[in-house]
Amino acid sequence: MAYTEGMLREDALKAKTIIITGGGTGLGKSMARYFLKLGANIVICSRRLEVLEKTAEELNAETGAEILCVACDVRKTDQIENVIAKAIEKFGKVDGLVNNSAGNFISPTERLSYKAVDVVVDIVLRGTYYFTLALGKYWIENKIRGTVLNISTTYAWTGSGWVVPSAMAKAGVLAMTKSLAFEWAHYGIRLNAIAPGPFPTKGAWDRLFPEELSKKFSFESRIPLSRGGDHQELANLAAYLMSDFSAYMTGEVITLDGGEVLAAGQFNFLKEVSDDQWDAIEDQIKNANRDSKKPE
Ligand code: HXC
Ligand code: NAP
């Protein structure tokens, strides 16, 4: 058994129709591939139809399943409604939504134009709440116990410089996840989120770890488990959260980051201390303990 293998039984998502935004590339594509293997009907949507169609062709060759591709900018409500209508037309209903589309790039915040902030916040936050609202209305009206999975980040709650629009938007997505999980629970609608650490994808690496940076900094050295995530690890967790196996879980945000977010621990700098140094430190502390017991 390995973390690079699928985890769930083969019918775990059988007959569920799931829309994955940004499903033509990166993590969205990896989730689409695994969900198909688990029996789901998959709809992928994003701005570039040619990218979606190429992915659909590749996944069809791997799994034999037919994938519905619909061009959609998640900032446009009419385009979102079109995706939902096309999905219902093809598969009869929609059961799940993965809000995975994102826009992001590193930059000193003072260098950003207003438009540069808007573009990231609108794709991540507006796109997520527009899509969730459109499907939520459909689910409530049709008494469907739908499931939403939002792909967030760990800096949604730690904050992070140099990706401020993304941090603001992802934090909003988490607030929506928890708020709606409570409000819509009585309809049987569940919302959860994953906060991934670094999972290598072309989309993210081109914009967050361009060559100039990756020559100087290795992201693996900051990860306590010393590696980036494997796409199957994320797909396994995502499939569980989209399946009925997680039926009692809602409003949860699961971190999957090899321990990266724990770096803030106050004494974690002690990682650098050698065994010899520890011998000396232990002696010093024990001596101080003894001294403190002597009468003054
Ligand atoms: C400063 C920049 C910039 C940069 C773009 N802009 N890149 N400003 N530094 N590096 C500014 C532009 O000048 C413009 O403002 C505004 O942003 C919009 O840029 P456009 O190129 O016109 O926008 P568009 O073509 O719509 O592209 C959107 C995008 C792009 C977000 C800028 O990166 C994109 O398409 N991204 C989609 C995929 C993606 O980002 N994937 C990574 C997700 S990874 P002005 O005012 O000049 O017109 C992720 C991981 C998080 O989220 C955690 C990792 C560990
Ligand atoms: P990616 O391959 O660049 O995926 C982003 C997707 O969003 C693309 O398919 C893109 O397709 C789509 N998209 C962008 N703007 C859109 C818009 N306006 N409307 C519809 N779709 C749009 O990057 P990724 O690494 O797989 O990221 C996937 C998700 O994981 C994102 O939410 C990201 O924040 C999150 N995440 C990734 C990492 C990581 O290490 N990779 C870490 C933490 C969180 P089009 O260009 O065709 O529109």
DSSP 254-278: EEESTTGGGGG-TTGGGGG--HHHH
pLDDT at residue 296 above 80? no
Domain count for the chain: 1
In a domain, 286, yes or no: no
- From 34, 129, 130, 155, the catalytic residue: 155
Q: Which of 8, 134, 141, 152 is nearest to 79 (CA)?
A: 134
In a domain, 74, yes or no: yes
CA distance 91 to 3: 32
Q: Whose CA is nearest to atom 34 of ligand 1?
A: 103
Domain boundaries, position 49: 17-268
pTM for the full predicted model = 0.97
**155 tagged catalytic:** yes
Q: How far is CA 213 from CA 47, 155, 159, 173, 207, in A?
A: 28, 19, 20, 28, 10
Mutation test of ligand 1: which of 119, 166, 212 has the most ligand atoms closer than 8 Å to its C-beta? 119
pLDDT at residue 49 above 80? yes
Q: What is the CATH number of the domain that holds 216?
A: 3.40.50.720
- Ligand 2 nearest atom to the CA of residue 207, by list position: 3
In a domain, 11, yes or no: no
Q: Whose CA is nearest to atom 1 of ligand 2?
A: 203
pLDDT digits (tens, 9 = 90+) for 108-118: 999 999 999 99
Q: Is 74 in the pocket of ligand 2 (CB under 6 A)?
A: yes
* Distance from the alpha carbon of residue 295 to the mean position of ligand 2, in angstroms: 66
The pLDDT assigned to 30 comes to 98
pLDDT digits (tens, 9 = 90+) for 266-290: 999 999 999 999 999 999 999 999 9
